[in-house]
Structure 1
Amino acid sequence: MESTNYFIRRQYGPALELLSAAIKKDGDFAEAHLRMSKIFKAVGDDKREQYHLQKVVKAQYNNPKFSEAQVLLAGKYFNEGEYEQSRKLATHVLNMKDVHKLMKEDAQYLLANIDYTERHINQPVKFNPEPIRGGMNQLGLQYFPVLTVDQEQMIFTGRRGNLPQYDEDIYVSKKLKNGEWSEPELLSPNLTTRANEGTCTISADGRTLIFTACQERSGLGSCDLYISYKIGEDWTVPKNLGGQVNGKSWESQPSLSADGKTLYFISDRAGGIGRRDIYVSYRNEKGEWSKAENLGKDINTARDEVSPFIHANGQTLYFASNGLPGFGEFDLFVAEKQGTGWTTPKNLGYPINTKEDQASLFITADGKDAYYSHEQRQGDRYVSSFIFTFEIPEEIRVSNKSSYVEGIVYDASTKEPLGASVELIDLNSQQKIAQVDSDPKLGEYLMVLTEGSEYALYVERDGYLFESLTFNYSHKNSQDINKPLHIDIYLQPIVKGKETVLNNIFFDVDKYEIKSASEPELNKVAQFLRENPDIKITINGHTDNQGSADYNLELSSRRAKAVYDYLIKLGIAENRLQYRGYGQSKPVETNDTEEGRQANRRIAFEIL
């Protein structure tokens, strides 16, 4: 049929003329009505699309060759809230013989959506979206917003116009003092070409960016993922993530964990569970990415999953799917990491999800606010897309919210900024949770802290004593999780007489047996000594002034001895170690407050 060629080339006018002429000759010409419905769908004319689908169904109600029209019309009825009519048509398709397997699957999926919607549409969640304030929404289209964890910068994909000739670029908007957002600017010349760059993700500290680029860059497939780093105030020239992540297929919509070590993304590569699936890749200590793995049937379905977003807590995954029961088209879902798998995805509810497509959701670290692109389409084309925000309802907020500690790493002697490794250890599991590097030029670092555990944070660099910090964000002590911390770190050069406090050595009150949560810190001391084989240290124990001086002297000495003994068990030679208790004789803070007394109760090691 000549109209088919016009349709394929999107020459809809000539196609409609031919099809209209055919229908004038035969008003029940089902093939022509079906083709016209598809043309009107492509141009966004819902009423005429539905009219022609109804003509097909009326003429060929029991013909399995036209079951597609019945499924499409059932979907139209569903979107209009005509659930009984939708159910009748979908059930009819299932009951017909010789219907194509895919049509039966579509009918079953539609029936699942009808059942889900009827059960949940009368249980709405609180949802009051509004456009973000300020000069942000000025481009023809803006979408896929992501924020740094301090919520001071928004990175997003933008087009200067809403016509196809306007390509995608990566923009940034900054939060102003009045809470509004600045006018958008291109993020960096290094990230901009005449081709498409977009759908990006950024690490919590705003210094690692992964984005999608198509066409002109040296890619492996139609669209690949690229990485760029911010050093000082400049972004590096992007590099392709390579064959472990990218392939000949389409890769896009990346989401990076807070520390920049875990990457989730979408691919339509062969061998997946559905048409488009969520994959994950991990970056090792050398900066190499592991071979991408399908996230599995816990998350992916036989249909499409898109727009993954891993929350700053590293545990909560948001994504859109049209393969799980919902309110129609793509709905937003959330799942929690559970061991090596994920919990059953939960629909975010109505009216966050509706009969329209929902996607590109970003949730702030504290779990309170969401950002997304509010889009309007006309057929296959977006006519508008603006960034909106709303407050997340209590019942679907993240289980463990996050905050962060940030600051600058300095050389304690010269006061010059330093590049250093910053490592976070969960003291309960004794596992490394995250690792970042402070900026080599500015010394700036940022580490996300998530409620639900106690953490040790280590800052280290060759030639310096490491520094340790401690944070207790277990649930019963997490009232301060919403308060970001600024802590500058001063690393001491390895020089005789220099001392570093071990903030993650724990004892019960009036006891000197080392608690198991101290093991990561003791292992860190042993590692430091192995890496510096010529160094000898003394373990110094200190107390506050509660109790008698003699008692405190004895307790501090026994605690220092316990650390000394533990290091020997870890293989450190006795002739490299000494220990001494000072009791209450060397306070570093006042003993008149609990905070001061806590600082005075300490174990430190000193270079001999």
Structure 2
Amino acid sequence: MSRVFIYVCLLLSLPCWSQKGETANPTLESLTNFTNIRDFTVSTSGLEGYCTIQSPLGELSYIVRVQKTDASGWSNPQLVRFSGQFMDLEPFLSGDGLKLYFASNRPLDSIKSKSKDFDIWYVQRDDLASSWSDPINLGTPVNTKADEFYPSIVANGSLYFTSTRTGTKGKDDIFYSQLQEGEFKTPISLETINTEGYEFNAYVSPKEDFMIFTAYQRKDGMGSGDLYISYRDKNKKWGTSINLGNEINSKAMDYCPFYDFRTHTLYLTSRRSVIENDKKYKSLEAIEKAINAYSNGYSRVYDINFDPENYINRKQKDSL
């Protein structure tokens, strides 16, 4: 079963009840004229961001750039020069801001117009004022005939990503590919993270001390996809996944995490909704306002203050 098919099915079953996760704040309100907004990545300066805009069923998917306008706002989006023809999504900006990784179904040969499976690509630039290059396919052994998604690059250049390749534990799994002498090595499945179900969209901290990812419909979940956190120990082993709970998660799909260390902000994408199906609306204007609310069941980007170190310390105290 393809990940795109799962995405469409989830969109067709959007929730219509009030959600938990009330502490998350709307982000990118300048983009609400687009049905679905997701996959937010921010530069280390906090002044530049990239995200994905999509049509209602996800058949159109493009990457846009936004700039910080003030303490609380972002500019109107600009389509990046390399996007607009094929399905591009899930951008991730490198720490120095000189490479932008993303997933795309664009063909390997620029002459061909037929799309292929999803691979991880990147563009690069000489400095922060320069234009992005043409897209470059990351190649084997990272990319395969299966789908590869959601790149996350750590400080040493190594890569974490999602793949649907065969021979793994579940449907979608999270993989790690070490960068050695400028080359990515054979990807390794994260055995302590992956299950027989769906694990995907992992953000990994630059020092690789924690990871936030989405797991779909786990027994301890809240109903759909939830964000989980895992910490890596001194032996470089990823620990037991912890559900981030209803302070962050909702009954809807919560996914696509990104953490901004500068502001201690966790960005996430969510399909949560504040629409109440048992409320009586007295006017068409009230109905229109409810339908067009930021949290209306479509994919939207949210932010929440979050400290991974304090979170695990609090969890450890609660377990005593």
Query: Is the structural similarity TM-score above 0.5?
Result: yes
Show CA shifts across 1:84-103 (max 9, x none): xxxxxxxxxxxxxxxxxxxx
Say which of 70, 75, 92 aligns to 1:182.
75
> 1:371, 1:351 → 2: CA distance?
13
Say which of 33, 44, 49 aligns to 1:154.
49
> 1:133, 1:273 → 2: CA distance?
36
Say which of 60, 63, 77 aligns to 1:170.
63
> 1:332, 1:276 → 2: CA distance?
15
1:419-434 maps to which residues of 2 (within 5 A)?
none
For residue 418 of structure 1, what is the aligned residue in structure 2? Answer: none
Closer/same/farther in 2, CA of residues 217 and 141 from structure 1, 3 Å limit: farther
Tell me, yes or no, if the aligned pair for 1:158 and 1:170 is still in contact at 8 Å: yes
For residue 30 of structure 1, what is the aligned residue in structure 2? Answer: none
Correspondence 1:294 to 2:189: yes
Tell me, yes or no, if the aligned pair for 1:225 and 1:241 is still in contact at 8 Å: yes
Correspondence 1:312 to 2:209: no
Closer/same/farther in 2, CA of residues 350 and 41 from structure 1, 3 Å limit: closer
For residue 211 of structure 1, what is the aligned residue in structure 2? Answer: 102
- The alignment's TM-score, normalised by the length of structure 2, stands at 0.75
Closer/same/farther in 2, CA of residues 41 and 309 from structure 1, 3 Å limit: closer
Matched letter for residue 356 of structure 1: A
Bigger Cα displacement from structure 2, 249-258 vs 130-139: 130-139
Say which of 234, 259, 283 aligns to 1:363.
259
What is the RMSD of the two structures over their aligned residues, measured on CA atoms?
3.3
Tell me, yes or no, if the aligned pair for 1:149 and 1:312 is still in contact at 8 Å: no
Q: CA offset at residue 304 of structure 1?
A: 0.6
> 1:271, 1:228 → 2: CA distance?
30
> 1:208, 1:175 → 2: CA distance?
19
Correspondence 1:387 to 2:306: no
Q: Secondary structure at the match of 1:234?
A: coil
Q: Secondary structure at the match of 2:74?
A: coil
Closer/same/farther in 2, CA of residues 148 and 397 from structure 1, 3 Å limit: farther
Q: Secondary structure at the match of 1:135?
A: helix
For residue 286 of structure 2, what is the aligned residue in structure 1? Answer: none
1:416-495 maps to which residues of 2 (within 5 A)?
none
Say which of 237, 240, 250 aligns to 1:341.
237
Correspondence 1:238 to 2:135: yes
Q: CA offset at residue 303 of structure 1?
A: 0.6
For structure 1, list consecutive stretches of 5 or more residues without a partner in the other structure.
1-39, 48-78, 81-123, 400-608
Q: CA offset at residue 394 of structure 1?
A: 7.6
Closer/same/farther in 2, CA of residues 179 and 205 from structure 1, 3 Å limit: farther
Say which of 144, 148, 168 aligns to 1:251.
148
Tell me, yes or no, if the aligned pair for 2:15 and 2:272 is still in contact at 8 Å: no
Tell me, yes or no, if the aligned pair for 1:200 and 1:253 is still in contact at 8 Å: yes
Q: Secondary structure at the match of 1:341?
A: coil
Closer/same/farther in 2, CA of residues 41 and 332 from structure 1, 3 Å limit: closer
Q: CA offset at residue 176 of structure 1?
A: 1.9
Tell me, yes or no, if the aligned pair for 1:268 and 1:276 is still in contact at 8 Å: yes
Q: Secondary structure at the match of 1:327?
A: coil
Q: CA offset at residue 326 of structure 1?
A: 2.3
For residue 85 of structure 2, what is the aligned residue in structure 1? Answer: 194
Closer/same/farther in 2, CA of residues 278 and 162 from structure 1, 3 Å limit: same
For residue 411 of structure 1, what is the aligned residue in structure 2? Answer: none
Detail structure 1 runs of 4+ shifted over 6 Å in the superposition: none
Tell me, yes or no, if the aligned pair for 1:313 and 1:365 is still in contact at 8 Å: no
Tell me, yes or no, if the aligned pair for 1:373 and 1:388 is still in contact at 8 Å: yes
Matched letter for residue 103 of structure 2: T
Tell me, yes or no, if the aligned pair for 1:134 and 1:182 is still in contact at 8 Å: no
Q: Which has the higher contact order (CA 8 A, sep 6+)?
A: 2
For residue 141 of structure 1, what is the aligned residue in structure 2? Answer: 36
Say which of 164, 169, 172 aligns to 1:268.
164
Matched letter for residue 267 of structure 1: S
> 2:137, 2:10 → 1: CA distance?
37
> 2:100, 2:125 → 1: CA distance?
8
Say which of 280, 283, 286 aligns to 2:179.
283
Closer/same/farther in 2, CA of residues 42 and 197 from structure 1, 3 Å limit: closer
> 1:44, 1:302 → 2: CA distance?
23
Number of residue equivalences: 275
Larger helix proportion of the pair: 1
Correspondence 1:354 to 2:250: yes
